[in-house]
Homo-oligomer: A and B are copies of this chain.
Amino acid sequence: MTFETTFPVWNKLNSSQQSKLLNTLITQKVEKGAIIHSGTMNCTGLILVKSGQLRAYMISEEGREITLYRLFDYDMCLFSGYCIMRSIEFEVIVEAEKETELWVIPSEIYKSIMDESADVANFTNEIMGTRFTDVMWLIEQIMWKSLDKRLAAFLIEETKIEESNKLKITHETIANHLGSHREVITRMLRHFQNEGIVKLSRGLIEIVDEDELYSLVD
């Protein structure tokens, strides 16, 4: 799999734009847990995921986290290259949730191509629209869904990503995804266990009644 076959608007670029991209592109392989971009670092560049899994989150002054969206194979992260747009005035942190191979497109290179290509600018618009949709969903969740529903939705999402009903994940990590506290997640998981929905053991959550989890979400 090459950058040329992965970058969605490759064929819309002229040859000068193509070679500019290829000549400045950075290929990286990062370990699980690596911070790839953080608001306090440089304007890292646009990230295209070759394979793996990333998480974009925001963090409060007190260090509390909440996941904004996750990125999988072929997904692209704009906000790690926030300086391509004047109007983006917020900080996200991007962390590898699994070992991840990725390409980084330097921001100034991407911007110079976006400035001259309507195709690339509109592609960028669509990506931002996708993230906007993610974030609007998140607002709905935190405004109007109770934590049991949000936790149920998160566990379902995880079983899909991991393709397994046995999740190796700590209560602390779940709290960071959902913008909650570890103690609160532990209490809710114990409640789920009492209801026969999950089975808890050290570092492992086993989903035993998936139907009940789904009916909680609806």
Contacts and interface: CB of A to CB of B under 8 A. Distances in A.
Interface in A125-161: 125-133, 135-140, 142-144
A129 B84 CA distance: 10
- Classify chain A: how many residues form its interface, as a range: 35 or more
A129 B87 contact: yes
Nearest to A135: B135
Contacts of A142: 139, 142-143
A38 interface: no
A129 to B, nearest CB: 3
A135 B138 CA distance: 11
A205 B143 CA distance: 26
A64 interface: yes
A122 interface: yes
A196 to B, nearest CB: 28
Given A66-B143, A121-B122, A179-B143, A133 B58 contact: no
Contacts of A140: 58, 60
A85 interface: yes
B135 A139 contact: yes
Nearest to A90: B136
Nearest to A86: B126
Interface in A13-63: 58, 60-62
8 contacts: A58-B136, A88-B129, A128-B128, A131-B132, A132-B135, A139-B139, A139-B142, A143-B179
Interface of A: 58, 60-62, 64, 66, 68, 85-90, 114-118, 120-122, 124-133, 135-140, 142-144, 179
